[in-house]
A and B are shown apart, each in its own frame.
Chain A
Amino acid sequence: MDITRRKFIKSAAMQSAVASAAVLFPGITFGAWKNVASGGIEWKKTPCRFCGTGCSLLVGVSGDRAVAVKGDPNCSVNKGLCCVKGYHSVQILYGKDRVTKALVRKNGKMVETPLKEALDLVASKMQETIKSHGKDAVAMYGSGQWSITDGYVSSKLFKGCIGTNNLEANARVCMASAVTGFLTSFGLDEPMGCYDDIDQADVFITWGNNMAEMHPVLFSRMLANRKSKSHVKIIDLATRTTRSSQAADKSIIFNPQTDLALANSICYEIIRNDWVNWDFVKKHVSFHKGKTNIGYGTQDHFKFKDKAETVDFEAYKAFLADYTPEKVEKLSGVPAKDIKYLAALYGDPDKKVTSYWCMGMNQHTRGTWINNLVYNCHLLVGKISTPGNSPFSLTGQPSACGTVREVGTLTHKLPKGVVMKEGARKLAAKIWDVPVENIDPKPTYHTVEMFRALDRGDIRFMWIQVTNPMVTMPNLNRYRNGAKKDGRFLVVSEIYPTPTYDVADVVLPSALWIEREGFFGNSERRTQHNEQIVPMPGDCMSNTWQIIEVARRMGFEKQFPWPPETYIEDIWNEYIQFHDNPKHRMAPYKELQEKSGLQWPYVNGLETKWRYNAKYDPAAEGDSFDFYGKPDRRAWIWLRPYEPAAESPDSEYPFWLNTGRVLEHWHTGSMTRRVPVLHRAVPEAYVEINPDDADRMGITNGAKVKISSRRGSVTMKANINGRGRPPQGMVFVPFFDESYLINEVTLDAFCPISKQADYKKCAVKLERV
């Protein structure tokens, strides 16, 4: 029994597995893996590294290696189940091309450099840039995958110490419309409900959200609810047929962008049939309208500010007259009877309704509006803030909520409040121990504009952590060319080589999530702690500690005093002072250490499952609902019209291009592609084409197709009748594959309110190659 034989069995088994199921080997117990020396396993809890669901994992540790994963049965999110990415997540630690040393570009070549020297260079380059070009010439671009402490120290360094608001995170292009949707409708960010709604609801309506692939653990919880109660229905509203449509009781396909009209039409029907919950509406809702014809932000220096005007119910009713099901059928392609059916589900007083959405509604040039409009559907019938009744905005990253939204790592934000408000600046200056004058009251650049500023030369130095913008920026050609221009200095904190790493001047090796202590915050206001479970390889360092090292080199020792043994706990204790009120109190460190996540507001040792309802929420006054986020203590219904997409198909570019993810890969695939089983399942990206379109154009499955827009083109294999099926006139491309950069084709138009780019709609043409 030698190693050669083992290797043979491994490779042969792989090949046989691809070909057929029935290949025989002698009954010898070999695994498809190398064995660690010790046989014992110790299980340690951590949130999953991938999506925003926030499953808790138990990682099996043997010696200093992570060797296995199982679902954490103590966590109410996933109740012991994971998805295929979660089960294999710890394999991302062990890719052989892991970045473990600092690299510095010297004479055009990346050279391995002692970490201390690389950190010295980052600090001195930043100081130099500030001296020669001003403080607003340096920027940091972070991520919803940042641990909470990473985001907190970057805000303290950039906003508090350096004094620039040049701090953004990729969550801007992922979640910003959800945030502005919450703020405009309720005055406070993040959902009122929680995942317990999944076990309580009678009807699920998913808006442009392929949960079977993107939030699989929540989706299977929905299926389990449906299985246990025969009346439960899942309705999939989408622009393309997916696994979620197939599992749903009804799949409704609408034309891109017409979700705006559809939501208004549902409300029209609710009012026409008098399904309005008048008691709720009279006590807890007010009506408002904002500006219209608000533009698309495709020009540099685009500015927009909405202005709210209070109106009454009659004005709202008159506004909806344009959205009869019959009119909307023509626009959306959804039969009027299906619109009436949806309205009847929302309107039925005996049915508890939960709506889910994620990127389909957020990556939308009217993202804020469509968020408002789906809230309208719930508010008219009073189906909100009670178990099973929940308009629920899902997140795509493990700490988009925890780090970006709660810490406020966006240009206009502070950990509590916005930079424009004096009170918020004073509180931050006090907790941070900096002069209040340090904090600039004017926001600078949102993400797209920040990369435009880098291209223009207004920004000269950018530090990028835990994200891969050279794959994910829309209209990528412009921003990559900009980043490569002379006189730009890019620092990239990474774990693997990526296209962003390729354009870096300094690469800092980062520790992965379980190689350090940290916190994530998931979609349902749950904060989750993990301890350091395995050692970090080589010179790897947590992103938090990298920032602390640079801050100290820049002379901010006083603001970054924490010792390496306890810095995560110390930062947590400083950070939660910002949220020390019943509307947002965070759980103490010790309890987070023990529990598989705790939901805020965490008041008197209790989690808050449903906000704005006095029965569950300690911040709510009175004995029923209290939407305390708004000055009138009401939830706001908005009059938001349908407006077309920034770019629609025409005779030259006749197809819609839609982009997104697949189950197996997460974001740009820099982690999941290094997991053997995930890469082998989906080794490369492809373009999904409707079978009739393919037939008409003579495109066969696997044939090469060139997809071009006014901005760029990419050639890739056609996928017909694959996992997803776009309707005629649309193609879909997953964005995980750096060999096929579909974002060279997409458009950098964004929602003028949230500044979130629309990755789901632009016009392209197809050619057979």
Chain B
Amino acid sequence: MEKPEHKVDQKVGKVFLIFAGICIVALPLIVFSAFSSEPQEMEMGTTVAETRDMDFDDNGKAIFENYDRISKDYLEGTSTGRTLSEYYSRRQFAGSPPFIPHKVKEPDLARVECLACHARGGWTQELKINTPITPHPEQVACRQCHISMTEAKLFAENDWMSVAPPRLGRASLPGAPPPVPHELQMRGNCIACHVGPGTVAAIRVEHPSRGNCRQCHVPLTNAQPFSRKRNTIN
């Protein structure tokens, strides 16, 4: 094995240990919630509200409105049905559009079918899992980017590499809120991916009812420390 990769694995190992610790503490809660919430029909609201651009900064109002119409039940819903490894296994790099992991009927109605489930979330009896919510419901031509797989074999092998997905738990101080480690384009609506039973357990927040995520979690856009020199426009 090459050296750099080994290093990454060590880091991942540490993250795993920390995560395992959290899991042990959280296990009773998760088990409890698994029993209590999964079989119920749980929706974000009775109807899909008007969807508009939800952008982290440029259109923050939409994020608040979206938060407002989500039921308390949903906000507090948890499940163990989805893991981070599974999440990344559907992507070619962190932030790429994931493929569709379930069967899709053809001919599809390009604008309706996906959002019927993925705009509001909730338990799906057909697939026996809580549905993940799209962070960009304003985009209605879903299958322009998300496609379903029908074949496992490749036409030709590909030597693809990308950067490691962001580490979890990047808080600067113990107990401090971690920054947002990913790109925000098309993913500015925090609640879609970090709250509710359809989300990946490892990145779900434990305080879902607070609606103003951005008061504590700020984007990590620059890894360099402050420098007076660099701060001048040249």
Q: Is the CB of A679 within 8 A of B129?
A: no
Give Cα distance in the complex from A83 to B97, angstroms.
Answer: 9
Q: Considering only CB atoms, which chain A residue lies closest to B157 in the complex?
A: A96
* Cβ-defined partner of B95 (8 Å) among A70, A223, A496, A678: A70
* Cβ-defined partner of B12 (8 Å) among A28, A40, A69, A681: A28
Give the contacts of B110-138 with A (CB-CB under 8 A).
Answer: 110-111, 127-129, 138
Q: Which residues of B contact A3 (CB under 8 A)?
A: 1, 5
Q: Which residues of A contact B19 (CB under 8 A)?
A: 27-28
Q: Is the CB of A29 within 8 A of B161?
A: no
Q: Is the CB of B149 within 8 A of A9?
A: no
Q: Is the CB of A246 within 8 A of B108?
A: yes
Give Cα distance in the complex from A224 to B72, angstroms.
Answer: 30
Q: Which of B5, B81, B156, B201 has the most CB of A within 10 A?
A: B156
Q: Which residues of A contact B (CB under 8 A)?
A: 1-3, 9-10, 13-18, 20-41, 60, 62, 65, 67-71, 73, 80-84, 87-88, 91, 94-97, 212, 216-217, 219-220, 223-224, 227, 241, 243-244, 246-247, 496, 663-664, 669, 673-683, 721-725
> Are A91 and B92 also in contact (CB < 8 A) when A1-B16, A680-B149 are?
yes
Give Cα distance in the complex from A220 to B139, angstroms.
Answer: 7
Q: Is the CB of A83 within 8 A of B145?
A: yes
Output the least CB separation between A496 and chain B (Å).
Answer: 8
* B80 is an interface residue with CB less than 8 A from chain A: yes
Stretch at the interface among B59-67, B162-170, B225-233: B162-170
Q: Is the CB of B80 within 8 A of A68?
A: no
Q: Known pairs A96-B159, A247-B110. 19 more at Cβ < 8 A?
A: A13-B85, A18-B149, A20-B101, A22-B127, A27-B19, A27-B85, A31-B94, A32-B90, A69-B93, A69-B96, A80-B186, A88-B96, A95-B157, A219-B141, A243-B108, A247-B109, A664-B147, A679-B155, A723-B106
Give Cα distance in the complex from A15 to B84, angstroms.
Answer: 17
21 CB contacts below 8 A, A to B, read A3-B5, A9-B89, A14-B152, A18-B152, A25-B83, A25-B85, A26-B83, A28-B16, A28-B19, A29-B15, A31-B88, A31-B89, A31-B162, A37-B5, A62-B163, A68-B162, A83-B145, A224-B140, A669-B155, A676-B92, A676-B160
Give Cα distance in the complex from A70 to B92, angstroms.
Answer: 12
Q: Which of B148, B159, B165, B167 has the most CB of A within 10 A?
A: B159
Q: Is the CB of A22 within 8 A of B81?
A: yes
Give Cα distance in the complex from A743 to B109, angstroms.
Answer: 30
Q: Is the CB of A683 within 8 A of B151?
A: yes
* B45 is an interface residue with CB less than 8 A from chain A: no
Q: Which residues of B contact A27 (CB under 8 A)?
A: 19, 23, 83-85, 200-202
Q: Is the CB of B110 within 8 A of A683?
A: no
Q: Is the CB of B158 within 8 A of A673?
A: no
Q: Which residues of A contact B8 (CB under 8 A)?
A: 35
Q: Is the CB of B139 within 8 A of A1?
A: no
Give Cα distance in the complex from A193 to B149, angstroms.
Answer: 38
* Cβ-defined partner of A34 (8 Å) among B15, B160, B200: B160
> Are A246 and B162 also in contact (CB < 8 A) when A84-B146, A216-B144 are?
no
The 4 A-B pairs at the shortest CB distance, nearest first, are namely: A13-B89, A683-B151, A216-B144, A220-B141
Give Cα distance in the complex from A212 to B126, angstroms.
Answer: 28
Output the least CB separation between A39 and chain B (Å).
Answer: 5
Give Cα distance in the complex from A743 to B157, angstroms.
Answer: 27
Give Cα distance in the complex from A71 to B144, angstroms.
Answer: 13
Q: Which residues of A contact B149 (CB under 8 A)?
A: 14, 17-18, 677, 680-681
Q: Which of A2, A81, A673 has the most CB of B within 10 A?
A: A81
Q: Is the CB of A67 within 8 A of B162?
A: yes
> Are A1 and B9 also in contact (CB < 8 A) when A26-B83, A35-B162 are?
yes
Give Cα distance in the complex from A78 to B1, angstroms.
Answer: 41
Give Cα distance in the complex from A496 to B158, angstroms.
Answer: 12
Q: Considering only CB atoms, which chain B residue lies closest to A33 in the complex?
A: B162
Q: Is the CB of A724 within 8 A of B107?
A: yes
Q: Considering only CB atoms, which chain B residue lies closest to A17 in the complex?
A: B101
Q: Which of A96, A217, A243 has the most CB of B within 10 A?
A: A243
Q: Is the CB of A212 within 8 A of B92?
A: no
Q: Is the CB of A680 within 8 A of B162?
A: no
Q: Which residues of A contact B25 (CB under 8 A)?
A: none
Q: Which residues of A contact B214 (CB under 8 A)?
A: none
Q: Which residues of B contact A71 (CB under 8 A)?
A: 185-186
Output the least CB separation between A17 and chain B (Å).
Answer: 4
* B56 is an interface residue with CB less than 8 A from chain A: no
Q: Considering only CB atoms, which chain A residue lies closest to B129 in the complex?
A: A22
Output the least CB separation between A56 and chain B (Å).
Answer: 13
Q: Is the CB of B159 within 8 A of A9?
A: no
Q: Is the CB of A13 within 8 A of B86?
A: yes
